Structure 1
Amino acid sequence: MKTPSQYVGGWLICAAALLMLPACAILQPVQEGQKLIGSPESAVRATFGEPTNIYRLADGSVRWIYSKQPLGYEAYAADFDASGKLTNFRQMLVTSEIYQAKVDSWTKRDVEEHFGKPLEPVQYYPLMQRDVWSYRFRQDGNLSSLFNCYFDKQGILRQVQITLDPLGGDSSRAP
């Protein structure tokens, strides 16, 4: 027969294991999100919480953005098909995704759908007549950088630029 302290010890082990589950979603969000592919929106919401932004895409799918901006370096996209099942989960503020931005083609809406709303203050350069949106990211995985998107008056992406993050930091800095 078990003593009361054995029951309490077993309960504490179970409680500790349950508390560690959300920590996995925080420490390894892409891996945890990939495990949920095929799951309904409710499972993603239960794991990651409320998204920062929600977009209905032209193909009928829905994208949720989980942004760690303005001081973090990540923006995760959870893509759902028309039936509400998760089809993809990935980090969007990586070099390979940033290089997909199409100058003279993308609009502000396209940039938002890909990276989320800018959470850094929007800059305006009157001589260029350009709004500039900036997103922090780690270029090639470790160099703290800013991805800057320059838009004309019509909201068309006219220029992109990668600069060093003026706040500095390196890959060991916790966002």
Structure 2
Amino acid sequence: MALLTALAGTCIALAACDQQSLAELHEGVSTEADVRARFGEPERIWPEADGARTFEYNRQPEGHVNYMITLAPGGTLRQTRQVLVPENFARVQPGADMLGVRRLLGQPARKVTYELTRETDWDWKWLDGPTRAMVFTATFGPDGRVRRAGSHEDLPSAQ
């Protein structure tokens, strides 16, 4: 129980820190140094076609968000996005490839491979409203393409 309480406290603190850090960043003004000072090293840096770069900040498995922060070619903040939202989940359709899904949603909270079916599930934790914990799952076939995807409530496991 103490571990669960500590984990809950960490999640609340992380969410509060992220909100404060986001409030301190301003599009068109903040720089790469400002972003790194508030969020640290990105999980991954995605190059954009126009020379911009998108920094991926993963908050899984403890949190319920992932951020993509885009810097314009000149190094100023262009956009911040929390990407674990229903609009992005709707874009994960059968046939989508793993890299494209990772690019859209960020690092998943969990990856599980099922040898018999030769499928791999990627799970992301997210919130539907302020308190309803959900899990979005994308199931990939052996070809690395989405077979199916959807969300379900993240119910506490029985111990």
TM-score, with length taken from structure 2: 0.75
Judged with a 3 Å threshold, the aligned counterparts in structure 2 of structure 1 residues 87 and 37 are, in CA distance, closer, same or farther, namely same
* Structure 2 alignment gaps of length 5 or more: 1-14
In the alignment, what sits opposite 1:11?
A: none
RMSD, aligned α-carbons: 2.5
* Secondary structure of the corresponding residue to residue 43 of structure 1: helix
TM-score, with length taken from structure 1: 0.69
**CA-to-aligned-CA distance 1:112-147 (integer Å, 9 cap, x gap):** 112222232x11233432111000001244320111
* Secondary structure of the corresponding residue to residue 54 of structure 1: strand
**CA-to-aligned-CA distance 1:47-66 (integer Å, 9 cap, x gap):** 22222222224554321111
In the alignment, what sits opposite 1:137?
A: 126
* Structure 1 alignment gaps of length 5 or more: 1-22, 169-175
Distance, in Å, in 2 between the alignment partners of 1:81 and 1:65 is 15
Identity, % of aligned pairs?
Answer: 27
Bigger CA radius of gyration:
1
* Secondary structure of the corresponding residue to residue 113 of structure 1: helix
Aligned partner letter, 2:81: R
1:61 partnered with 2:52: yes
In the alignment, what sits opposite 2:151?
A: 162
Do the aligned partners of 2:109 and 2:125 also contact (CA within 8 Å) in 1? no
Structure ranking higher in strand proportion: 2
- How many aligned positions are there? 143
Do the aligned partners of 1:51 and 1:66 also contact (CA within 8 Å) in 2? yes
In the alignment, what sits opposite 1:117?
A: 107
